[in-house]
Amino acid sequence: MNIPVPPLLVTGSLFCMIALIATGCATPPEVKRDYLDATAWRGSALTGVGRQNVVDAAAGAAPQTVTLIDVNQRAEVAGDVERRARVLDRRVANVQRELHRNGIAPAAVGEWPGPVQGGVQTYPPSELQTKQMVVIAHY
C-alpha cells in the first residue's frame, strides 16, 4: 500500500538531513551556569558557601554538558586594574583546585576571560565547548 507523502514533509526532511551532514552530526552541548557572588568570597579565598557552590557544580556535571562557573559576575573587586587581575587570577585558581579536589580532571576544566567589555555571550566559544567546566573571570 502506497501512502502519499506531502512534498513539504519530504523537503523539510531533506533540509534536516543536509543540516546534520553539514554540521558533522554534532549535537551542541547543554550549557549550565553557576554564579559565585559576594557571599562566595573572602578576598580571593572561597568561603564555605562558595566551596559548596563549586562542590554542587562538580556533582552536577553531566556528559554533553558544559558548566560555566562565573567567579566575578556580581562580586566587585576594589582597587586598580592590576590588583583586580591578581585577585581574579587567585579566584580562578581556587575554583579550579576545588573542582580537581571534587573529581573533575584538570583537562576537563577551561578558563574563559568572558565576553568582550560590554558584550554579552552566554555560550562559551567553540574551543571551550568540549570542556566539562569553564571558569569565567571577567577581566
Q: What is the pTM of this model?
A: 0.73
**What does the pLDDT read at residue 43?**
87
Which residues are CB-contacts of 45 (< 8 A; sequence separation ≥ 6)?
94
pLDDT, tens only, 3-40: 554 444 444 444 444 444 444 445 567 888 888 988 99
pLDDT, tens only, 49-88: 999 999 999 998 877 889 999 987 555 666 777 888 888 8
Domain residue spans in the chain?
29-136
Instruction: Evaluate whether 40 touches 47 at the Cβ level (below 8 Å).
Output: yes
